[in-house]
Structure 1
């Protein structure tokens, strides 16, 4: 493979040229310490001194060295003036050997490692780990540069890095191809070739792969079961090959996606047959795992629906019988009172010492005679019926009766699924696994020997040995137990993306034990390697924080904090001035209405994000789509218009070309890369950065927005509050304080958003969050632990905090001395944390090195019925971090106001989202999660384009304002509002792509980047 091309020519030049310093930056980067001064004193010529300082300053900024002919003349002039050098400096006399010596010295002074064969191998290993996951080369390039900074390794040139990345991809793919060539039996090769030609082989599978039924009706389920079994047969046929080919999950998905989009003819064009086999085997494995997940989703939801229906029926029955219950209770209560009255009278007569024994007996006999006279046969019968009725109402057997009624309809849906699922025998509970295997082996035709050990003793009592098995009841209890066991991590699928055992998602234990220090270094976790040291430092800071906060409460300095009678802390946060629209919105509206197509075109002129929409196959990199076709696809997807409809209401767009472009170029990674292009420009804009509260510290936030799904959708859920009788999903979006939307994903409306926080924080290379805020539903103790270990301060909004929320390392000491206001609720289990510290590090390294996503791990780990030891340890460690934050939150009004302001921005962004995603009643028209993710990414791209356009326009207005007071007044007005405003953008109407875009950019980016906003 020739060298991969992932940067434009301009980007390459920029990377390989020294930085352009402002007059304020030069003194900082060219500052001379005592040690540097001693080094300079040993240099004889002025040329060598200037050359040394130039290399030092550029290295401080960029972490790398540059060719001498690229050194900036302004920097040379600055240094000659600083050192009073009167003679001209000729850097042609700065010899390469002298430059190399100086580079070694600079690395020594700054504590960096030179780029040599050893460090190149070290970087290559880091790159290769990502190449194995088939991460896009441009992302690997950025990650490699970041890795060099973290490890303090001299950053190589673009050419050297590109060669490293290209070699890594070649090495990785060559290794897989070699495994296939040496490991595939001739019979396997023949079977793959036959599959390509057979009518019921690959052509049929390609057709199956195009769609997955999102319906939970019997017909849709049968279709999914049939296709799963088809892929399962091929998977089983090549299982020996999969044992040899240890293909990572991301790589499997990459190759499989190509096959799904390709035609049979395109697949046959591979000259290297082993590469064709690699694509095909990945396709089969991916589709089989994906369909196992789909079937499990259907089983879980169908079973839960049946259980809910049984519960609701029971509740309705109880409601309908409410009057009869009250009457029965009245009759029984009256009888009890009457009997109690007789008993009380008898007791009084018996204890009356003034009466003789015979008198007592006579009175008691008379009393009983009178009582029996009142108890007619009808009264007794009514009482017996009432007692029997009440017994039936409290009999738990009716719960099982209701379940049994729904068993047959559930069997039609779930029985074929349970037969098609393949469970992991090594990590699943033996009792439930035995019951499932029996069900599969007998094809659901159960006999008296059906296993009962998976049932509770109470449920086992429903199936006496001497009675005929209640098959319908048994089956629904089996389905219910399977669903419970899967959710609890006691029953795991063998081939799956979402339902495997937790250990299958982590870095393999053997690899971890063998390469622990190296993996920690790669993941940037070395400083957390020693658990006792980490906890000791946290204990010290937590103790100090308790003292500080308590002292301020006792002294009355914290006027916004109060405690109720139960000891619950409540803090008041006065509002800060924040205008969502105001001056910014009015200024933009006054300028005139612009079409969303014009916004996208003008932003593309600034950062050429359209270039990111590359063909999925590297072989077709020259097949660049037309710019207007890409913009049409973005609008069709991002505005929820639909590709077909947009091509009909537009001028200058070919429907067939548009569909082909969307199919091959609108992968999620491409759209995210396009968004990254916009974020990079926003990151550099002085006006955008003016919204940052503290320079060098970026505050971000995330929140979810509920969206209806108008079609069948397996991951959509009911929520009467948000969807009424319909179903929907949650769009979970991230924003920074500069109004850049840097991540968005689609999750089930019933899922807790906290599991996805870490995904969003680690998804983007441009936005590095220092503080992240969510609402109360966006955090757990585990998220506090994870954010601490990725060096992000987690700062959710809290409404009230009970004492049990707080923690300490010890129940003795500073926290509970007499007079303290705040008392910790419980003690952190330090022993538990340290005993699982290595597991915590392995868990976090898995996330940071992208072996598995954080959401996958957290969802699987939190599902265990009895908390997994690792989960308990993470929670306990997270409680320490959470307690430290809560104490700060109590005490720091400015922090609370910053959190409120940042959460206001994400709420505004959610309203902005509705305005962009306007068509089709703002409801998803596609039930596929993949297509919903693509539509959401396009929507975010449009949002960011509008925000960037707003920032550029306002920057230009500031540049055109010559009066300093007017400039400062305008800047203050802009900063008091938000760049998220869209009243001036026409989202709807006819889209005319025939109009040729202007060649020259509307905005002068060079001047805008130099804008002074301080």
Structure 2
């Protein structure tokens, strides 16, 4: 970062990050004490039998330990929604617009132009056409809108900028629902990030071969950030790109949304050599789910002499190079600052920092710092069954979103048909917007029903409602002939709450 040393105080004040201003010696002292306490505590709880969520098996003179893998729960299409009256996607979008006025975010490419009612109808038509991979020509044959009208609207209103603004508005509205914070895991805003593979019909720069996912075809991989079931952000990456190098970017690249994360989980593909330390610098607890946790613990390091722990079951394999981190701290600070100030592509910086190419002392120090934080996390993961459950629950929510997103895409074929990377990205954003709208609709109903049951002092029912995932689509009609010009069906929330209350009583067999 240019001029960092010259303007260090000014830049650090602008960032307002206590961790960057704190002497690195004090930070490492805290981490040393935390790690030492954890190593002792983890082994003590295993030896005493207090940790009942670890399996021990003797093999000769060696004790083999394993962790029971948390069960996956089906977060998608809960049977509760089978009884809810079906609603057409057109009516659902009207309802969402009444709640958060998302149509206002669709601005004309020429600022002086304004929307009329016909424009709004065509915007909905284009959104559904692109999200379901029907395309506007196919939509013109399946609805009461003309192809030329939709084509003009698509050119004037449907841009990445407007689509993201609409999705942000829907996400912010969902975050304002009373039920949203009830979806927190361990009282924390615990999100997840994962990529989903899609075929592309036409060849573009980002579409690449992947024998595992596409056979002989090509495809792309939308990388989506989920919090409390809502798709907060998405980034289109090639199937050849490593997911973990885009985690920082997807978390902090969108500054237009008023939602913060306390914790984020990924699968093994979301990990790299620097994500622990980069997210820690932003006060986000990184909690990945590793495929082989036992082999990963062989990388645990310590800031104290490892001979202190040689008799323990779970122990560090080496001593971390504290001096290297302290010596290189002045060179690490500008890296953190550049990422926080978004002076250049965040994913490009992360890719270089995580790469094994071009070794340097600064990079080695960053990796060593990352290893210390990873070691602390691994010890926490072994010791805390609740943490493991929360990590699995967060990832399950991401998988449920992918199921919903896949069903929307497969309404008219699962391939992206865009002729360029930009078109594919626009179609994907249309799909995210539609999925976000469906989730928000379901969450609005559940939030209202939860409030009703709490007013009735039926807290057991309210707790049941909080556990229902809003990711469901069996009551949403995406197919058929679309009549956008027909008089809108208004949803009476009060009437709907009465109906949902009856459905809930039957569901709970009361």
Alpha carbons of 1:581 and 1:639: their partners in 2 closer, same or farther (altered >3 Å)? closer
Q: CA deviation at 1:756?
A: 1.2
Alpha carbons of 1:690 and 1:862: their partners in 2 closer, same or farther (altered >3 Å)? closer
Q: 2:382 aligns with which of 868, 871, 890?
A: 890
Q: Distance in 1 between matches of 2:116 and 2:352?
A: 41
Question: Aligned-pair RMSD on alpha carbons?
Answer: 2.7
Q: Distance in 1 between matches of 2:362 and 2:478?
A: 49
Alpha carbons of 1:770 and 1:594: their partners in 2 closer, same or farther (altered >3 Å)? same
Q: CA deviation at 1:961?
A: 5.9
Q: CA deviation at 1:571?
A: 1.3
CA contact (8 A) 2:453 2:459 kept: no
TM-score normalised according to structure 2 size: 0.88
**2:100 paired residue number:** 607
CA-to-aligned-CA distance 1:466-507 (integer Å, 9 cap, x gap)? xxxxxxxxxxxxxxxxxxxxxxxxxxxxxxxxxxxxxxxxx3
**2:392 paired residue number:** 900
Q: CA deviation at 1:958?
A: 4.7
CA contact (8 A) 1:916 1:943 kept: yes
CA contact (8 A) 1:528 1:534 kept: no
Q: Distance in 2 between matches of 1:754 and 1:579?
A: 24
Q: 1:537 aligns with which of 18, 25, 30?
A: 30
CA contact (8 A) 1:558 1:891 kept: yes
**1:820 paired residue number:** 312
1:667 aligns with 2:159: yes
CA contact (8 A) 1:952 1:1003 kept: no
Q: Distance in 2 between matches of 1:539 and 1:960?
A: 49
Alpha carbons of 1:621 and 1:536: their partners in 2 closer, same or farther (altered >3 Å)? farther
CA contact (8 A) 2:321 2:368 kept: yes
**1:715 paired residue number:** 206
**1:857 paired residue number:** 349
CA contact (8 A) 2:32 2:304 kept: no
**1:591 paired residue number:** 84
**2:298 paired residue number:** 804
| SS of aligned partner of 1:801 | helix
Alpha carbons of 1:960 and 1:827: their partners in 2 closer, same or farther (altered >3 Å)? closer
CA contact (8 A) 2:132 2:412 kept: no
CA contact (8 A) 2:109 2:157 kept: yes
| SS of aligned partner of 1:992 | coil
Q: Distance in 2 between matches of 1:673 and 1:613?
A: 8
Q: Distance in 2 between matches of 1:545 and 1:795?
A: 16
Q: CA deviation at 1:659?
A: 2.4
**1:996 paired residue number:** 487
1:570 aligns with 2:69: no
CA contact (8 A) 1:573 1:893 kept: no
| SS of aligned partner of 1:728 | strand
Q: CA deviation at 1:868?
A: 4.1
1:975 aligns with 2:469: no
Q: Distance in 1 between matches of 2:429 and 2:470?
A: 20
Q: Distance in 2 between matches of 1:659 and 1:542?
A: 60
Q: Distance in 1 between matches of 2:53 and 2:186?
A: 24
- Runs (5+) with no aligned partner, structure 1: 1-506, 1009-1014
CA contact (8 A) 1:637 1:935 kept: yes
| SS of aligned partner of 2:274 | helix
| SS of aligned partner of 1:712 | coil
Q: CA deviation at 1:720?
A: 1.9
Output aligned runs, 1:903-922, within 5 Å.
903-922=395-414
Q: Distance in 2 between matches of 1:823 and 1:879?
A: 14
- Runs (5+) with no aligned partner, structure 2: 499-510
**2:189 paired residue number:** 698
CA contact (8 A) 2:179 2:450 kept: no
Q: 2:218 aligns with which of 723, 727, 733?
A: 727
Per mean C-alpha deviation after superposition, the further-off stretch among 516-525 and 595-604 is: 516-525
Q: Distance in 2 between matches of 1:584 and 1:840?
A: 51
Q: 1:744 aligns with which of 218, 228, 234?
A: 234
1:935 aligns with 2:410: no
CA contact (8 A) 2:78 2:472 kept: no
Alpha carbons of 1:968 and 1:713: their partners in 2 closer, same or farther (altered >3 Å)? same
CA-to-aligned-CA distance 1:792-840 (integer Å, 9 cap, x gap)? 0011113323343211123346434xx3222212222222222332332
CA contact (8 A) 1:576 1:897 kept: no
Alpha carbons of 1:584 and 1:524: their partners in 2 closer, same or farther (altered >3 Å)? farther
CA-to-aligned-CA distance 1:40-91 (integer Å, 9 cap, x gap)? xxxxxxxxxxxxxxxxxxxxxxxxxxxxxxxxxxxxxxxxxxxxxxxxxxxx
CA contact (8 A) 2:194 2:224 kept: yes
Report the structure, 1 or 2, having the larger helix content: 1
CA contact (8 A) 1:603 1:949 kept: yes
**2:286 paired residue number:** 794
**2:175 paired residue number:** 683
| SS of aligned partner of 1:528 | helix
Q: Distance in 2 between matches of 1:889 and 1:745?
A: 29
**1:879 paired residue number:** 371
| SS of aligned partner of 1:950 | helix
CA contact (8 A) 1:615 1:624 kept: no
**1:418 paired residue number:** none
Q: Distance in 2 between matches of 1:855 and 1:962?
A: 45
Q: 1:923 aligns with which of 405, 409, 415?
A: 415
| SS of aligned partner of 2:235 | strand
Report the structure, 1 or 2, having the larger strand content: 2
**1:558 paired residue number:** 51
Q: CA deviation at 1:733?
A: 1.3
Q: Distance in 1 between matches of 2:17 and 2:260?
A: 17
Q: CA deviation at 1:864?
A: 5.7
CA contact (8 A) 2:75 2:397 kept: no
1:767 aligns with 2:259: yes
Q: Distance in 2 between matches of 1:668 and 1:567?
A: 55
Structure with the bigger RCO (C-alpha within 8 Å, sep 6+) is 2
CA contact (8 A) 1:745 1:936 kept: no
Q: CA deviation at 1:613?
A: 1.1
| SS of aligned partner of 1:882 | helix
